[in-house]
Amino acid sequence: MSNWQTYHSSLTRYSDFGFSIDLSLMDIKDSFYSEMQPKIDRAFKDMLALEAGDIANPDEGRMVGHYWLRDADLAPNAEIKAQITEPLAALKKFADKVLNGDIAPPSGGRFENLLVIGIGGSALGPQFVYHALGADSKLQTFFFDNTDPAGIDRTLSEIGKGLNKTLCLVVSKSGGTPETRNGMLEAQEFFEDNKLDFSKHAVAITGEGSKLFNYAKDHNWLTTFPMEDWVGGRTSVMSTVGLVPAALQGIDIDAFLAGANHMDARTRSTEVTKNAAMQLALGWYHAGNGKGEKDMVVLPYKDSLALFSKYLQQLVMESLGKELDLDGKVVNQGIAVYGNKGSTDQHAYVQQLRDGVKNFFATFIEVRKGREGQSIEVDPGTTTADYLQGFLRGTRKALYESGRPSITISVQEVSPFTLGLLIALFERAVSFYASLVNINAYHQPGVEAGKKAATSFLELLNQVRGALTGWEKTADDIAEATDNDPEDVYHALVHLAANGEATLSEGTTPAEDTFKI
Ligand SMILES: O=P(O)(O)OC[C@H]1O[C@](O)(CO)[C@@H](O)[C@@H]1O
């Protein structure tokens, strides 16, 4: 088959949305599709059950309902439908009131800034959407997405004099995530230091009855929006988590939801050649042999989509990176995701992609329209948009010629609708892929280990603090006194010294370093 013919037979197009996905450079043979058919059938069956409200997340005993968020009629019962439609109406009203000044800061005027405090799925979606669509945002938006004090200070100094016009959204499904709680406490303190009543600036988005929910209630925050049990953090961008900030920014959230709804509707087709999400999942399977042997490099050729790879990193890696399959067998699944944007990355790591280790496949995101309005000619007859397109097409070809496969996903422009399309496409591809490789995509047991280790470090730190009295001490002295591992104690001591709680006198080895208060 000629390349041109392969292109035709490997393309899934939704012309009415200006969307296409092209797998012609993945070198997939027809026989692959027939071999995969039993797994494909199962994936479609699993998806039907999931959308009908089955417990698709068996380990946590939860339904998985992000697809209902953009079509509430699909919700399995009236109660869940209301959990979608009521907050949606309420958040629209709230955003209108904030934007027209009915809900205003106590110091007068209107809210002009938004500070979103959250982490992981409670931050990445809002960050991605704001970066992609927030150019004309009504509220300048800032994020605390970590427990890094220097990062917090930097964001607060960027907000600067606008603090009294800043609305804070504290977002946590569980309502108990330490990074988010710390960010909230830091923000609250900073408001209070500036003689501002934090509660008149604060809104919570969280599960009913969570610690954050109760805190917001006890402190009379402006309002609380619910986050439901059946929405996972990494798929929450179309719940209150993503929609409250987007509505406040003046982004057309109906168009955003409509884009996702349309992609969902198309990708419910059981005709594989017409199902872009199944095509994508099969492309991943083919590239990595169903074992994640190849990383996915995400290359959107559009600055406003630069956070797409970061967003997909969580969506794909937290969903698919699993030790056990659904039968309890050790499989160590996953697909590593990284990337930034083209053509910028051509001047960074694309050198390795072209010539180095062949451990990846690329996913190009093509946005056909360069900009609104006219462009100047940077060469006779040539615009910057021509260059961008040239680099995308050129890199894709150059990679293929050196044996590196790629997928190309195209949309006409970056808009609320097309962003909805793209997110829904990847969400469903993740669901399908999880079925193809027989894993639960909706839990994250691995994250718990790090959380537990952090908690024991904090306990150890307090023991070390308590033991650091009197004479100079080494890590071994304190380890013996507190019955802890000397290396753990040493790192706790170095941390205390770096943060002004102890003085360090360096010896020739860490064991000879001494510390005192
Ligand atoms: O919204 P929460 O409960 O604060 O959780 C934040 C993030 O932490 C995780 O639970 C684990 O990292 C993510 O899945 C989630 O998006």
With cut-offs at 50, 70 and 90, classify the pLDDT of residue 358. Answer: very high
**Backbone phi, psi, residue 120, to 5°:** 60, -135
Q: b/e map of 31-64 (b: 16 or more CB within 10 Å)? A: eeeeebeebbeebbebbeebbebeebbeeeebbb
Name the catalytic one among 192, 451, 452, 459: 451
User: Where in 390-479 does DSSP place strands (E)?
Assistant: 406-411
Residues 36-65: pLDDT tens digits? 999 999 999 999 999 999 999 999 999 999
- Let me know if 8 is a catalytic residue: no
Euclidean distance between CA atoms 116 and 203, whole angstroms: 10
Q: In DSSP terms, which residues pair with 330 in a beta bridge?
A: 324
Residue 247 is encoded by which pair of tokens? 């509505």
Check whether 1 has a pLDDT greater than 80.
no
The amino acid at residue 98 is: V
Task: With a cut of 80, say whether residue 66 has pLDDT above it.
Answer: yes
Q: Is 121 exposed, middle or buried (0-12, 13-18, 19+ CB in 10 A)?
A: buried
pLDDT at 428 exceeding the cut of 90: yes
Confidence of residue 470 (pLDDT cuts 50, 70, 90): confident
The atom number, within ligand 1, closest to the CA of 124 reads 16
- For 437, list phi and psi in degrees, rounded to 5: -105, 10
Distance 351 CA to ligand 1 centre (A): 35
pLDDT, position 471: 83
Radius of gyration of the chain from Cα atoms?
25
Query: Looking at the predicted structure, is the pLDDT value of residue 292 above 80?
Result: yes
Expressed in angstroms and rounded, the spacing between residue 176 Cα and the centre of ligand 1 is: 9
Q: What is the mean pLDDT of residues 152-178?
A: 97
What pLDDT is recorded for position 191?
Answer: 98
Residue to mutate, 127, 172, 174, 443, ligand 1, most ligand atoms under 8 Å from C-beta: 174
Of all atoms in ligand 1, which is nearest to the CA of residue 118? 4
Q: pLDDT digit string (tens) for 262-291? A: 999 999 999 999 999 999 999 999 999 999
Q: Whose CA is nearest to atom 10 of ligand 1?
A: 233
CA separation (Å) from 217 to 45, 204, 208, 429? 42, 9, 11, 39
**Mean pLDDT over residues 68-94, rounded?**
98
pTM of the model: 0.96
Ligand 1 pocket list (CB less than 6 A): 119-122, 172-174, 177, 180, 233-234, 318, 444, 447
Going by pLDDT thresholds of 50, 70 and 90, the confidence category of residue 3 is confident
Q: What angle do CA 368, 275, 271 make, to 5 degrees?
A: 145
Q: What is the mean pLDDT of residues 487-497?
A: 96
For the cut 80, the answer to whether the pLDDT of residue 173 exceeds it is yes
Annotated catalytic residue, options 318, 341, 443, 473: 318
pLDDT tens digits along 297-347: 999 999 999 999 999 999 999 999 999 999 999 999 999 999 999 999 989
Residue 318 appears among annotated catalytic residues: yes
Q: How confident is the model at residue 207 (pLDDT cuts 50, 70, 90)?
A: very high
* pLDDT of 450: 80
CA of 444 to the centre of ligand 1 (A): 9
> What is residue 448's predicted lDDT score, i.e. its pLDDT?
81
pLDDT of residue 452: 81
pLDDT of residue 449: 80
448 is catalytic: no
Ligand 1: which residue has its CA nearest to atom 14? 233
Tell me how far apart the alpha carbons of residues 517 and 507 are, in angstroms, rounded to a whole number. 17
Cα–Cα distance, 216 to 222 (Å, whole number): 8
Mean of all residue pLDDT scores within the chain = 96
DSSP state of 506: -
d(CA 239, CA 70): 9
Of the pLDDT bands very low, low, confident and very high (cuts 50, 70, 90), residue 406 is: very high
What ligand 1 atom has the least distance to the C-alpha of 227? 1
Of all residues in the chain, the percent with pLDDT exceeding 90 is 96
